[in-house]
Amino acid sequence: MAETATSPERVVFQTHPERYRHWKLSFQGDVATLAMNVQQFEPQRPGYELKLNSYDIGVDVELADAILRLRFEHPEVRACVITGSLDRVFCAGANIVMLRTSTHGFKVNFCRYTNETRLGIEDASANSNLRFLAALNGTASGGGYELALACDKILLVDDRNSAVSFPEVPLLGVLPGTGGLTRIADKRKLRRDRTDVFSTIAEGIKGKRAVEWNLVDRIAQLSKWDEAVGQMARELANEVQPRATQGVQLDQVEATIESDALRYRYVDVKLDRTMRTAELTLTAPDACPKSDAEALAQGAAWWYLRALRELDDAICQLRFNEPHIGLILLRAKGPAATWQTTDALVASSKHWFVVETRHFAKRTLKRWEGSAKSLYAIADDGTTFVGTALELALGCDRIYVLNDADRPVQLGLTQVHAGLFPMANGLTRLETRFLGTPDSVGKVLELAGKLFDAETANELGLATVAPDSIDWDDELRLAIEERASFSPDGLTGMEQNLRFAGPETMETKIFGRLSAWQNWIFQRPNAVGERGALTCYGTPTKPEFNTLRT
């Protein structure tokens, strides 16, 4: 189906609380409040109004930034209240007109980004001594309720009007796109019949029934609202200890944007739009901190954190702003000793700042392999795939290693490969790679701390292919040209099926269903056709459905 919707303007992923338009972040002791006050006439691009605290990518970029700053800049905070600033409205969910006027690819990437933000909230609760309370001061619909589901507890105002709801099926002909059905079933463990009823009632469920069905944890009358919010926030805060009294301020990591490149301090992205490829090079510096104190002294300028933040931004830039780039060619450079020394610190440290950086690395790796792009790691002359850099390579679909003694490559394992950065399936990348031969994992890890060449990498099963210099150029060229010739839709489906072998988790369910359900349902005429529900929503025209079951 041809994409005729309005092309979105370039999405910017760097912001700061002083520039927030849609959220207000405030603090009272060890409790933070994130108040949602979406500015109706300030959408990310022209063409729609953000009514009733409905959100677009710009709103979620600010939310993601706020969560990241809570983790790094405010380790003293133990609980965060997420609430709304509008009267009787918490959040109406993703803006419908924004979805209707976006390309299909943008819609799916938007859902993926918001999923990652909500998973980041859950990760902060699990690993950063930071609990979240969704204080629903009014109705929470669709994505608004999905945001609440990512929190540890949900408090709903009992004012006879406010409800929680998933109106996507009855009103829009689509599904809750940011993990809603998965979370009410797997996280809050609603009964199947009640989940079925809830997901088909457009007006939702409120009051005591919402508590009885475990859709929310508590309700509070409007007259006692502030007291109830404060009490629940204090209960959550008391569950954990503060990580520190002083945080680390995060600087900006915006790229220098050229016509065919994105250039950061440690990350460089070269674009070939004719071939639909991007060459992404991550370069480690010559020197690096060796201790917690040295890393803390450098703060946000610590090369490891800075490079990861640049990589994270580059991934998002390529997703949203370069939709026709289909293949990313990854190279890693810099001294092997820098990778080894840094990984040793990251793996062994118990200092809150280094630990927080470790979790950011984990989330960035997940975003890397969760992208709708083909990923090839290219280990050719001058590259150094060691430790975290090798972990990035293991997240790729293929690893090409040049086997030429005159043009040496360096590869090596460090402590990070033994479980520091689990994938969405809960396994390490080595465990996922060798799912059929689990004994291979131990054999590979025996080389941790040592550097090895292309031939050894091939023997260990870490290389997809390891051509010599005679075949290298042709082999790589053919692999790139072949990939470019395939259907992007088919490749996305194939890659998302192959990247997460092994056990299924709530996270893999969310993204698996996103790539399957949303890619399919968002394309169907019942949703986006001339008389589809998403097309007709908010207009006098009633949707018409093709009633064939498929």
| Cα gap 382→538, rounded to integer Å | 57
Helix (H) or strand (E) holding 328: strand 327-333
Residues 6+ apart with CB under 8 A from 156: 136, 140, 162, 164, 206, 207, 210, 211, 216, 218, 219, 220
Q: How far apart are CA 43 and CA 45, in angstroms?
A: 5
Is residue 129's pLDDT more than 50? yes
Both structure tokens of 355: 């630990």
Tell me how many degrees the CA angle 384-386-389 measures, rounded to the nearest 5. Answer: 85
Q: Between 3.40.50.2300, 3.90.226.10, 1.10.260.40, 3.40.50.1820, what CATH number should domain 17-237 receive?
A: 3.90.226.10
State the average pLDDT over residues 67-93: 97
| Per-residue pLDDT reduced to its tens digit, 249-282 | 999 998 999 999 999 999 999 999 999 999 999 9
Tokens, residue 193 = 């019949």
All residues at 6 or more sequence positions from 12 whose CB lies less than 8 Å from its CB, including other chains: 61, 254
Per-residue pLDDT band for 550 (boundaries 50, 70, 90) equals confident
Coil, strand, or helix at residue 517? helix
Task: Give pLDDT tens digits for 295-343.
Answer: 999 999 999 999 999 999 999 999 999 999 999 999 999 999 999 999 9
Task: Please report the pLDDT score of residue 515 as a whole number.
Answer: 63
Residue 548: what pLDDT? 85
Residue 105 confidence (pLDDT): 87
Task: Give the start-to-end residue ranges of the domains of the chain.
Answer: 17-237, 259-494
Q: Binning pLDDT at 50, 70 and 90, where does residue 5 land?
A: very low
| pLDDT class of 104 with cuts at 50, 70, 90 | confident
- Say what the pLDDT of residue 3 is: 37
Q: What is the pLDDT of residue 275?
A: 95
Q: Which residue has the higher pLDDT, 176 or 125?
A: 125
Cα(217)–Cα(230) distance, integer angstroms = 15
Residue 309, token pair as written in the block: 């933040």
Which amino acid is it at 347? A
Phi and psi, residue 390, nearest 5°? -70, -35
Give the type of residue at 467.
P
**Alpha-helical segments (H) within 349-400:** 352-369, 388-394
Residue written as tokens 């060890």? 30
CATH annotation of 259-494: 3.90.226.10
**What is the chain's mean pLDDT, rounded?**
94
CA neighbor of 317 nearest in space, from 373, 362, 274: 373
Both tokens of 115, joined, read 């999923």
Instruction: List pLDDT tens digits, range 337-387.
Output: 999 999 999 999 999 999 999 999 999 999 999 988 999 999 999 999 999
Q: Compute the distance between CA of residue 7 and CA of residue 246 in angstroms, rounded to an integer.
A: 43
Q: Which of 190-199, 300-309, 457-466, 511-520 has the lowest mean pLDDT?
A: 511-520
Render pLDDT for 393-428 as a digit per residue (tens, 0 to 9).
999 999 999 999 999 999 999 999 999 999 999 999
Bridge partners of residue 136, in order along the sequence: 156
Let me know if the fold of 17-237 is the same as that of 259-494: yes
Bridge-based pairing of strands 163-165 and 205-206 is antiparallel
Percent of the chain with pLDDT over 90: 87
Mean pLDDT confidence for 218-237: 98
Percentage with pLDDT > 70 across the chain = 97
**pLDDT per position as a tens digit, 159-211:** 999 999 999 999 988 888 778 999 999 999 999 999 999 999 999 999 999 99
Residue 493: predicted pLDDT: 82
